[in-house]
Amino acid sequence: MKNHTTQLTLNAMLAAVCAVLGYLALDLFTLKVTFESFPVLLAGLMFGPVNGALVGLIGTFIYQLLRYGLEMSTPLWIIPYVVMGAVVGAYAKRSTYDNSAKEIRFIALVAELLVFLMNTVALYFYSKILYGAFSLPFITGSLLPRLLIALAKGIAYGLIARPILIKLSRITHNGGR
């Protein structure tokens, strides 16, 4: 029972950190610099696809609600983090939560690129909601800076995730799972 309580507590803390990091994002129209995906990455690596997806869902929903309110486009900005948590969690589960440093670097980079791609698709739909039509400059205007930010975050997350996971595994008493 203690393990489930610890896992639930850690998931709640990661969702809260996700919400705070999202809320504190630097938002420049279609260019957003945020670190909200890092707690989602950790949740997926530690507890699997369901928990990773739930941390992404709850954390980004709270942040979206606090920062922008509830809009028709809200799900567009939540779904990438839910999918990211599920993909990272499935990857970690495949190796029974014992990922090497190289594997963690790989999945962190893939996860950030996945969020980048899904947010680009979200921008397409958002432009239709905002302007009533597809707006190519709206979507492509910040494409390169957004890609560079995603690559930088993926590399940075890949480098710092394993030491943090090792520390957190001491709390969960099960090797990070």
- Residue 168 CB: number of other CB atoms within 10 A? 15
- Average pLDDT rounded to a whole number, residues 130-146: 81
**Digit-coded pLDDT (tens) for 88-117:** 999 999 988 889 999 999 999 999 999 999
CATH code reported for the domain at 2-172:
1.10.1760.20
Indicate the pTM of the whole model. Answer: 0.92
State how far the alpha carbon of 2 is from the alpha carbons of 8, 37, 55, 88, 174, in Å: 10, 27, 20, 25, 12
Higher-scoring residue by pLDDT: 138, 56: 56
- Residue 171 CB: number of other CB atoms within 10 A? 13
The yes-or-no verdict on residue 2 having pLDDT over 70 is no
Instruction: Write down the pLDDT at residue 128.
Output: 81
- The structure tokens 């996860």 sit at 111
* 47-51, 80-84, 149-153, 165-169: least confidently modelled range: 165-169
- Provide the mean pLDDT of the chain: 91
User: CA–CA separation, 70 vs 140, rounded Å?
Assistant: 26
The yes-or-no verdict on residue 176 having pLDDT over 50 is no
Residue 28, SS3 per DSSP: strand
Instruction: Write down the pLDDT at residue 47.
Output: 94
- The structure tokens 């009533």 sit at 132
Tokens of 57: 């869902």
Element (H, E) at 27: strand 26-28
* 16-30, 52-66, 103-117, 134-148: least confidently modelled range: 134-148
Tokens of 98: 């014992």
Higher-scoring residue by pLDDT: 4, 88: 88
Partners of residue 31 on adjacent β-strands = 28
